[in-house]
Amino acid sequence: MDLAAVQGYMRDQRIDGWLLYDFRGNNPVLAQLLPGKRWTTRRALYLIPGSGRPVVLNHGIDENQFKMLSVDRERYLSWGDFNEWLRTKLSGMGRVAMEYAAGGALPVVSIVDSGTVEHVRSLGVEVVSSANLIQVCAAVWSPEAQKNHAKACAEVTRIKDGAFGLIRERLAAGKKVLEHEVQAYILDQFKTAGLETTEPPIVGVNPHSGDPHYFPSADHPMEIKKGDWILIDLWARVPGDENVYCDITWVGFAGKDVPGKHREVFEVVRKARDSVVERAVAAWKTKERVCGWQLDDAAREVIVGAGYGEFIRHRTGHSLSPGPEVHGMGVNIDNLETHDTREMLPGIGFTVEPGVYLPEFGVRLEIDVFVDPSAGPTITSCKQDEIVLVA
Protein backbone atom coordinates (compact mmCIF):
# COMPACT_ATOMS: atom_id res chain seq x y z
CA MET A 1 0.00 0.00 0.00
CA ASP A 2 1.21 3.48 -0.90
CA LEU A 3 0.28 5.18 2.37
CA ALA A 4 1.09 8.68 1.10
CA ALA A 5 -1.22 8.23 -1.90
CA VAL A 6 -4.02 6.83 0.27
CA GLN A 7 -3.78 9.61 2.84
CA GLY A 8 -3.52 12.23 0.10
CA TYR A 9 -6.74 10.95 -1.44
CA MET A 10 -8.40 10.92 1.99
CA ARG A 11 -7.49 14.55 2.57
CA ASP A 12 -8.78 15.51 -0.89
CA GLN A 13 -12.10 13.84 -0.09
CA ARG A 14 -12.28 15.27 3.45
CA ILE A 15 -12.07 11.79 4.99
CA ASP A 16 -10.51 11.90 8.46
CA GLY A 17 -9.98 8.17 8.86
CA TRP A 18 -10.42 4.81 7.16
CA LEU A 19 -11.64 2.14 9.55
CA LEU A 20 -11.36 -1.42 8.27
CA TYR A 21 -13.40 -3.90 10.31
CA ASP A 22 -12.88 -7.66 10.16
CA PHE A 23 -14.55 -10.58 11.91
CA ARG A 24 -13.19 -14.08 11.34
CA GLY A 25 -11.44 -13.04 8.13
CA ASN A 26 -14.54 -11.68 6.37
CA ASN A 27 -12.88 -8.52 5.01
CA PRO A 28 -10.77 -9.24 1.89
CA VAL A 29 -9.65 -5.61 1.76
CA LEU A 30 -7.93 -5.88 5.12
CA ALA A 31 -6.40 -9.18 4.05
CA GLN A 32 -4.87 -7.49 1.01
CA LEU A 33 -3.62 -4.45 2.94
CA LEU A 34 -2.10 -6.68 5.61
CA PRO A 35 -0.79 -9.59 3.53
CA GLY A 36 -0.09 -12.95 5.07
CA LYS A 37 -2.55 -15.72 5.79
CA ARG A 38 -4.11 -15.50 9.25
CA TRP A 39 -6.76 -17.34 11.19
CA THR A 40 -8.70 -15.04 13.48
CA THR A 41 -11.53 -15.79 15.89
CA ARG A 42 -12.29 -12.28 17.18
CA ARG A 43 -12.89 -8.83 15.77
CA ALA A 44 -9.99 -6.83 14.37
CA LEU A 45 -9.70 -3.21 13.28
CA TYR A 46 -7.23 -1.37 11.10
CA LEU A 47 -7.40 2.42 11.36
CA ILE A 48 -5.68 4.57 8.75
CA PRO A 49 -5.87 8.24 9.76
CA GLY A 50 -5.79 11.08 7.24
CA SER A 51 -2.32 11.84 8.58
CA GLY A 52 -0.08 9.92 10.92
CA ARG A 53 0.62 6.25 11.45
CA PRO A 54 -1.96 3.50 10.92
CA VAL A 55 -2.68 1.12 13.79
CA VAL A 56 -4.13 -2.38 14.11
CA LEU A 57 -6.35 -3.44 17.02
CA ASN A 58 -6.49 -7.18 17.58
CA HIS A 59 -7.77 -9.39 20.38
CA GLY A 60 -5.06 -10.77 22.62
CA ILE A 61 -5.94 -14.34 21.72
CA ASP A 62 -5.22 -13.56 18.04
CA GLU A 63 -1.93 -11.82 18.82
CA ASN A 64 0.20 -14.37 16.99
CA GLN A 65 -1.76 -13.81 13.79
CA PHE A 66 -0.62 -10.17 13.60
CA LYS A 67 2.80 -10.09 15.22
CA MET A 68 4.66 -10.45 11.91
CA LEU A 69 3.24 -7.17 10.60
CA SER A 70 5.44 -4.09 10.39
CA VAL A 71 2.64 -1.83 11.62
CA ASP A 72 1.71 -0.36 14.99
CA ARG A 73 -0.48 -2.79 16.97
CA GLU A 74 -2.64 -2.56 20.04
CA ARG A 75 -4.77 -5.23 21.65
CA TYR A 76 -8.00 -5.56 23.58
CA LEU A 77 -9.56 -8.17 25.84
CA SER A 78 -13.16 -7.16 26.56
CA TRP A 79 -15.94 -5.63 24.51
CA GLY A 80 -15.59 -2.61 26.77
CA ASP A 81 -11.93 -2.28 25.75
CA PHE A 82 -12.95 -2.58 22.10
CA ASN A 83 -15.59 0.15 22.34
CA GLU A 84 -13.35 2.45 24.35
CA TRP A 85 -10.58 2.10 21.75
CA LEU A 86 -13.03 3.09 19.04
CA ARG A 87 -14.34 6.04 21.03
CA THR A 88 -10.84 7.31 21.76
CA LYS A 89 -9.38 6.81 18.28
CA LEU A 90 -12.36 8.32 16.44
CA SER A 91 -12.62 11.31 18.78
CA GLY A 92 -12.32 14.48 16.73
CA MET A 93 -12.94 12.74 13.40
CA GLY A 94 -15.86 13.99 11.33
CA ARG A 95 -15.95 11.57 8.39
CA VAL A 96 -14.79 7.95 8.53
CA ALA A 97 -14.72 5.56 5.58
CA MET A 98 -15.74 1.91 5.98
CA GLU A 99 -16.50 -1.05 3.72
CA TYR A 100 -20.07 0.11 3.36
CA ALA A 101 -22.29 1.11 0.44
CA ALA A 102 -25.51 3.05 0.96
CA GLY A 103 -28.49 0.82 0.34
CA GLY A 104 -26.19 -2.11 -0.43
CA ALA A 105 -25.78 -0.69 -3.94
CA LEU A 106 -22.28 -2.16 -4.30
CA PRO A 107 -22.26 -5.69 -2.84
CA VAL A 108 -18.52 -6.02 -3.39
CA VAL A 109 -18.02 -3.13 -0.94
CA SER A 110 -20.86 -3.95 1.50
CA ILE A 111 -18.78 -5.97 3.97
CA VAL A 112 -19.35 -4.36 7.38
CA ASP A 113 -22.58 -5.33 9.13
CA SER A 114 -25.15 -2.62 9.76
CA GLY A 115 -24.85 -2.92 13.55
CA THR A 116 -21.16 -2.03 13.47
CA VAL A 117 -21.86 0.90 11.16
CA GLU A 118 -24.59 2.06 13.56
CA HIS A 119 -22.18 1.84 16.48
CA VAL A 120 -19.54 3.93 14.73
CA ARG A 121 -22.17 6.51 13.83
CA SER A 122 -23.26 6.64 17.47
CA LEU A 123 -19.78 7.97 18.28
CA GLY A 124 -20.63 11.14 16.41
CA VAL A 125 -18.93 10.49 13.07
CA GLU A 126 -20.32 10.32 9.56
CA VAL A 127 -19.70 6.95 7.89
CA VAL A 128 -18.94 7.13 4.16
CA SER A 129 -18.08 4.42 1.66
CA SER A 130 -14.48 3.33 1.22
CA ALA A 131 -15.24 2.23 -2.38
CA ASN A 132 -12.82 4.62 -4.08
CA LEU A 133 -10.25 4.32 -1.29
CA ILE A 134 -10.13 0.59 -1.99
CA GLN A 135 -9.27 1.42 -5.57
CA VAL A 136 -6.48 3.81 -4.59
CA CYS A 137 -4.75 1.31 -2.31
CA ALA A 138 -5.75 -2.16 -3.56
CA ALA A 139 -6.58 -1.82 -7.25
CA VAL A 140 -3.68 0.29 -8.54
CA TRP A 141 -1.14 -1.57 -10.68
CA SER A 142 2.49 -1.31 -9.65
CA PRO A 143 5.17 -0.91 -12.36
CA GLU A 144 6.06 -4.58 -11.88
CA ALA A 145 2.40 -5.58 -12.23
CA GLN A 146 2.18 -3.60 -15.47
CA LYS A 147 5.26 -5.37 -16.80
CA ASN A 148 3.94 -8.83 -15.89
CA HIS A 149 0.49 -8.04 -17.26
CA ALA A 150 2.08 -7.18 -20.60
CA LYS A 151 3.94 -10.49 -20.51
CA ALA A 152 0.73 -12.37 -19.73
CA CYS A 153 -1.12 -10.59 -22.54
CA ALA A 154 1.54 -11.58 -25.07
CA GLU A 155 1.37 -15.22 -23.99
CA VAL A 156 -2.42 -15.37 -23.76
CA THR A 157 -2.69 -13.88 -27.26
CA ARG A 158 -0.30 -16.49 -28.60
CA ILE A 159 -2.21 -19.28 -26.90
CA LYS A 160 -5.54 -17.96 -28.20
CA ASP A 161 -4.14 -18.00 -31.73
CA GLY A 162 -2.88 -21.52 -31.14
CA ALA A 163 -6.31 -22.68 -29.99
CA PHE A 164 -7.98 -21.44 -33.15
CA GLY A 165 -5.07 -22.91 -35.10
CA LEU A 166 -5.67 -26.32 -33.52
CA ILE A 167 -9.30 -26.26 -34.63
CA ARG A 168 -8.29 -25.16 -38.13
CA GLU A 169 -5.66 -27.90 -38.39
CA ARG A 170 -8.00 -30.67 -37.22
CA LEU A 171 -10.82 -29.61 -39.53
CA ALA A 172 -8.49 -29.31 -42.50
CA ALA A 173 -7.23 -32.85 -41.87
CA GLY A 174 -10.75 -34.21 -41.51
CA LYS A 175 -10.13 -35.09 -37.87
CA LYS A 176 -12.55 -34.73 -34.99
CA VAL A 177 -12.00 -31.86 -32.54
CA LEU A 178 -14.00 -31.40 -29.33
CA GLU A 179 -14.60 -28.33 -27.16
CA HIS A 180 -12.91 -29.81 -24.10
CA GLU A 181 -9.86 -30.82 -26.15
CA VAL A 182 -9.32 -27.18 -27.11
CA GLN A 183 -9.81 -26.25 -23.47
CA ALA A 184 -7.17 -28.82 -22.46
CA TYR A 185 -4.78 -27.44 -25.09
CA ILE A 186 -5.12 -23.94 -23.60
CA LEU A 187 -4.50 -25.17 -20.06
CA ASP A 188 -1.44 -27.11 -21.19
CA GLN A 189 -0.10 -24.03 -22.93
CA PHE A 190 -0.65 -21.95 -19.79
CA LYS A 191 1.41 -24.45 -17.82
CA THR A 192 4.20 -24.47 -20.42
CA ALA A 193 4.27 -20.65 -20.44
CA GLY A 194 4.47 -20.51 -16.64
CA LEU A 195 1.07 -18.85 -16.24
CA GLU A 196 -1.67 -19.54 -13.70
CA THR A 197 -5.45 -19.28 -13.94
CA THR A 198 -8.42 -19.50 -11.57
CA GLU A 199 -10.68 -21.71 -13.69
CA PRO A 200 -10.47 -23.56 -17.03
CA PRO A 201 -11.13 -21.42 -20.13
CA ILE A 202 -14.46 -21.35 -21.95
CA VAL A 203 -14.69 -22.94 -25.39
CA GLY A 204 -18.27 -22.82 -26.64
CA VAL A 205 -19.80 -23.78 -29.98
CA ASN A 206 -23.10 -22.49 -31.40
CA PRO A 207 -25.72 -22.43 -28.54
CA HIS A 208 -22.93 -22.98 -26.00
CA SER A 209 -21.40 -19.65 -27.06
CA GLY A 210 -24.68 -18.06 -26.00
CA ASP A 211 -24.12 -19.12 -22.37
CA PRO A 212 -21.73 -16.60 -20.75
CA HIS A 213 -20.53 -19.10 -18.14
CA TYR A 214 -20.62 -22.31 -20.13
CA PHE A 215 -17.77 -24.73 -19.40
CA PRO A 216 -17.02 -27.71 -21.66
CA SER A 217 -16.07 -31.06 -20.23
CA ALA A 218 -15.44 -34.63 -21.30
CA ASP A 219 -18.70 -35.58 -19.55
CA HIS A 220 -20.71 -33.81 -22.25
CA PRO A 221 -18.42 -33.63 -25.30
CA MET A 222 -19.36 -31.36 -28.16
CA GLU A 223 -17.68 -31.65 -31.54
CA ILE A 224 -16.62 -28.54 -33.44
CA LYS A 225 -17.63 -28.95 -37.06
CA LYS A 226 -17.37 -26.95 -40.26
CA GLY A 227 -19.94 -24.17 -40.30
CA ASP A 228 -19.88 -23.78 -36.50
CA TRP A 229 -19.58 -20.56 -34.50
CA ILE A 230 -16.88 -20.66 -31.81
CA LEU A 231 -16.31 -18.51 -28.72
CA ILE A 232 -13.10 -18.76 -26.65
CA ASP A 233 -12.70 -16.94 -23.34
CA LEU A 234 -9.34 -17.35 -21.59
CA TRP A 235 -7.56 -15.65 -18.70
CA ALA A 236 -4.20 -16.12 -17.01
CA ARG A 237 -1.42 -14.22 -15.26
CA VAL A 238 2.17 -14.45 -14.17
CA PRO A 239 1.95 -16.18 -10.74
CA GLY A 240 1.73 -13.95 -7.71
CA ASP A 241 -1.09 -11.98 -6.08
CA GLU A 242 0.71 -8.73 -6.83
CA ASN A 243 0.13 -9.43 -10.54
CA VAL A 244 -2.88 -8.83 -12.79
CA TYR A 245 -4.67 -11.20 -15.16
CA CYS A 246 -4.93 -10.89 -18.90
CA ASP A 247 -8.58 -11.71 -19.69
CA ILE A 248 -9.80 -11.83 -23.30
CA THR A 249 -12.64 -13.29 -25.37
CA TRP A 250 -12.58 -13.88 -29.13
CA VAL A 251 -14.98 -15.48 -31.62
CA GLY A 252 -14.48 -17.39 -34.85
CA PHE A 253 -16.34 -19.19 -37.62
CA ALA A 254 -15.42 -22.61 -39.00
CA GLY A 255 -15.73 -21.62 -42.62
CA LYS A 256 -15.04 -18.86 -45.12
CA ASP A 257 -18.49 -17.26 -45.48
CA VAL A 258 -19.81 -15.94 -42.17
CA PRO A 259 -23.64 -15.93 -41.98
CA GLY A 260 -25.15 -12.47 -42.14
CA LYS A 261 -26.78 -12.64 -38.69
CA HIS A 262 -23.51 -13.60 -37.04
CA ARG A 263 -21.63 -10.79 -38.76
CA GLU A 264 -24.35 -8.29 -37.85
CA VAL A 265 -24.23 -9.19 -34.15
CA PHE A 266 -20.42 -9.17 -34.20
CA GLU A 267 -20.42 -5.60 -35.54
CA VAL A 268 -22.91 -4.45 -32.90
CA VAL A 269 -20.79 -5.89 -30.08
CA ARG A 270 -17.59 -4.48 -31.59
CA LYS A 271 -19.12 -0.99 -31.73
CA ALA A 272 -20.40 -1.33 -28.17
CA ARG A 273 -16.93 -2.32 -26.94
CA ASP A 274 -15.24 0.53 -28.77
CA SER A 275 -17.79 3.05 -27.51
CA VAL A 276 -16.68 2.35 -23.93
CA VAL A 277 -13.05 3.05 -24.75
CA GLU A 278 -13.99 6.20 -26.64
CA ARG A 279 -16.09 7.41 -23.69
CA ALA A 280 -13.29 6.70 -21.23
CA VAL A 281 -10.65 8.45 -23.36
CA ALA A 282 -12.90 11.48 -23.91
CA ALA A 283 -13.51 11.79 -20.16
CA TRP A 284 -9.79 11.56 -19.45
CA LYS A 285 -8.95 14.28 -21.98
CA THR A 286 -11.56 16.67 -20.59
CA LYS A 287 -10.80 15.75 -16.95
CA GLU A 288 -14.40 14.65 -16.50
CA ARG A 289 -15.22 12.48 -13.51
CA VAL A 290 -16.56 9.28 -15.09
CA CYS A 291 -17.94 6.30 -13.21
CA GLY A 292 -18.37 2.63 -14.01
CA TRP A 293 -22.10 2.98 -14.59
CA GLN A 294 -21.55 5.65 -17.24
CA LEU A 295 -19.12 3.47 -19.18
CA ASP A 296 -21.56 0.57 -19.01
CA ASP A 297 -24.29 2.80 -20.42
CA ALA A 298 -22.08 3.69 -23.38
CA ALA A 299 -21.99 0.03 -24.45
CA ARG A 300 -25.58 -0.87 -23.69
CA GLU A 301 -26.90 2.14 -25.60
CA VAL A 302 -25.30 0.73 -28.75
CA ILE A 303 -26.71 -2.75 -28.20
CA VAL A 304 -30.18 -1.56 -27.24
CA GLY A 305 -30.19 0.88 -30.15
CA ALA A 306 -29.46 -1.97 -32.54
CA GLY A 307 -32.44 -3.92 -31.22
CA TYR A 308 -30.56 -6.54 -29.22
CA GLY A 309 -31.19 -5.25 -25.70
CA GLU A 310 -33.14 -8.37 -24.65
CA PHE A 311 -30.06 -10.48 -25.37
CA ILE A 312 -27.80 -8.71 -22.84
CA ARG A 313 -27.03 -11.05 -19.94
CA HIS A 314 -24.33 -9.29 -17.89
CA ARG A 315 -22.54 -6.02 -17.16
CA THR A 316 -20.01 -4.66 -19.63
CA GLY A 317 -16.84 -5.30 -17.63
CA HIS A 318 -15.14 -6.09 -14.34
CA SER A 319 -12.17 -4.79 -12.42
CA LEU A 320 -8.66 -6.07 -13.11
CA SER A 321 -6.45 -5.57 -10.09
CA PRO A 322 -3.80 -7.28 -7.98
CA GLY A 323 -5.10 -10.07 -5.78
CA PRO A 324 -6.14 -13.70 -5.97
CA GLU A 325 -9.17 -13.29 -8.24
CA VAL A 326 -9.51 -12.39 -11.91
CA HIS A 327 -12.43 -10.12 -10.92
CA GLY A 328 -10.59 -7.45 -8.98
CA MET A 329 -11.38 -4.93 -6.25
CA GLY A 330 -11.76 -1.81 -8.39
CA VAL A 331 -14.56 -0.32 -10.43
CA ASN A 332 -16.74 -2.59 -12.54
CA ILE A 333 -18.19 -1.33 -15.82
CA ASP A 334 -21.70 -1.82 -14.56
CA ASN A 335 -25.07 -0.12 -14.53
CA LEU A 336 -27.00 -3.34 -15.00
CA GLU A 337 -26.30 -5.69 -12.11
CA THR A 338 -25.31 -2.80 -9.82
CA HIS A 339 -25.13 0.98 -10.15
CA ASP A 340 -21.35 1.29 -9.86
CA THR A 341 -20.57 4.84 -8.77
CA ARG A 342 -16.84 4.23 -8.34
CA GLU A 343 -14.68 6.49 -10.46
CA MET A 344 -12.27 5.55 -13.22
CA LEU A 345 -9.08 6.50 -11.36
CA PRO A 346 -5.47 6.65 -12.59
CA GLY A 347 -3.53 3.42 -12.17
CA ILE A 348 -6.45 0.98 -12.22
CA GLY A 349 -7.56 -1.55 -14.85
CA PHE A 350 -10.73 -3.19 -16.06
CA THR A 351 -12.14 -5.36 -18.83
CA VAL A 352 -14.53 -4.20 -21.52
CA GLU A 353 -16.58 -7.20 -22.64
CA PRO A 354 -20.07 -6.47 -23.93
CA GLY A 355 -22.01 -9.48 -25.13
CA VAL A 356 -25.11 -10.37 -27.12
CA TYR A 357 -26.42 -13.88 -26.44
CA LEU A 358 -29.02 -15.31 -28.79
CA PRO A 359 -30.41 -18.83 -28.33
CA GLU A 360 -28.46 -20.11 -31.34
CA PHE A 361 -25.14 -18.32 -30.74
CA GLY A 362 -23.45 -15.58 -28.72
CA VAL A 363 -20.83 -12.90 -29.29
CA ARG A 364 -18.57 -11.44 -26.58
CA LEU A 365 -15.50 -9.37 -27.40
CA GLU A 366 -13.29 -8.77 -24.39
CA ILE A 367 -10.30 -6.49 -24.00
CA ASP A 368 -8.25 -5.22 -21.06
CA VAL A 369 -7.79 -1.51 -20.30
CA PHE A 370 -5.29 0.19 -17.99
CA VAL A 371 -5.75 3.82 -16.94
CA ASP A 372 -2.19 5.00 -17.39
CA PRO A 373 -1.54 7.97 -15.05
CA SER A 374 0.11 9.85 -17.94
CA ALA A 375 -1.56 8.58 -21.12
CA GLY A 376 -5.02 7.76 -19.78
CA PRO A 377 -7.12 4.71 -20.71
CA THR A 378 -4.97 2.36 -22.78
CA ILE A 379 -5.85 -1.03 -24.27
CA THR A 380 -3.29 -3.52 -22.99
CA SER A 381 -4.54 -6.74 -24.59
CA CYS A 382 -5.10 -7.82 -28.16
CA LYS A 383 -8.32 -6.48 -29.72
CA GLN A 384 -10.52 -8.35 -32.19
CA ASP A 385 -11.85 -6.34 -35.12
CA GLU A 386 -12.49 -9.18 -37.58
CA ILE A 387 -14.07 -12.58 -37.12
CA VAL A 388 -11.47 -15.37 -37.03
CA LEU A 389 -12.01 -17.65 -40.02
CA VAL A 390 -11.20 -21.20 -39.00
CA ALA A 391 -11.34 -22.65 -42.50
Query: What's the pLDDT at 77?
Result: 95
Indicate where the chain has its CATH 3.40.350.10 domain(s): 3-138
> Does residue 228 contact residue 167 with C-beta atoms inside 8 Å?
no
> Does residue 174 contact residue 226 with C-beta atoms inside 8 Å?
no
- Concatenated DSSP letters for 246-309? EEEEEEEESSSS--HHHHHHHHHHHHHHHHHHHHHHHHHHHT---BHHHHHHHHHHHHHHTT-G
Domain 3-138, CATH among 3.40.50.2300, 3.40.350.10, 3.40.50.460, 1.20.1440.230? 3.40.350.10
- Is it the case that residue 37 has pLDDT exceeding 70? no
136-181 tens-digit pLDDT: 888 999 999 999 999 999 999 999 999 999 999 999 999 999 999 9
Query: What's the pLDDT at 369?
Result: 98
Taking the C-alpha atoms of residue 370 and residue 314, their distance in angstroms, rounded to an integer, is 21
- Is it the case that residue 317 has pLDDT exceeding 70? yes
| Total Cβ atoms within 10 A of residue 65 | 20
8-20 tens-digit pLDDT: 999 999 999 999 9
- Average pLDDT for 60-79: 90
Taking the C-alpha atoms of residue 45 and residue 29, their distance in angstroms, rounded to an integer, is 12
Query: What's the pLDDT at 324?
Result: 86
- Average pLDDT for 358-374: 97
pLDDT above 90 covers a percentage of the chain that reads 85
* pLDDT band (50, 70, 90) for residue 40: confident
- Angle, to 10 degrees, between the axis of helix 260-286 and the axis of helix 292-305? 150
Across all residues in the chain, what is the average pLDDT? 95
120-133 tens-digit pLDDT: 999 999 999 999 99
Query: Where is average pLDDT lowest: 59-63, 308-312, 316-320?
Result: 59-63
Tell me if residue 84 falls in helix, strand or coil. helix
Domain 140-389, CATH among 3.40.640.10, 3.40.1350.10, 3.40.50.10170, 3.90.230.10? 3.90.230.10
Taking the C-alpha atoms of residue 176 and residue 225, their distance in angstroms, rounded to an integer, is 8
Indicate where the chain has its CATH 3.90.230.10 domain(s): 140-389
- Is it the case that residue 63 has pLDDT exceeding 70? yes
Global pTM?
0.91
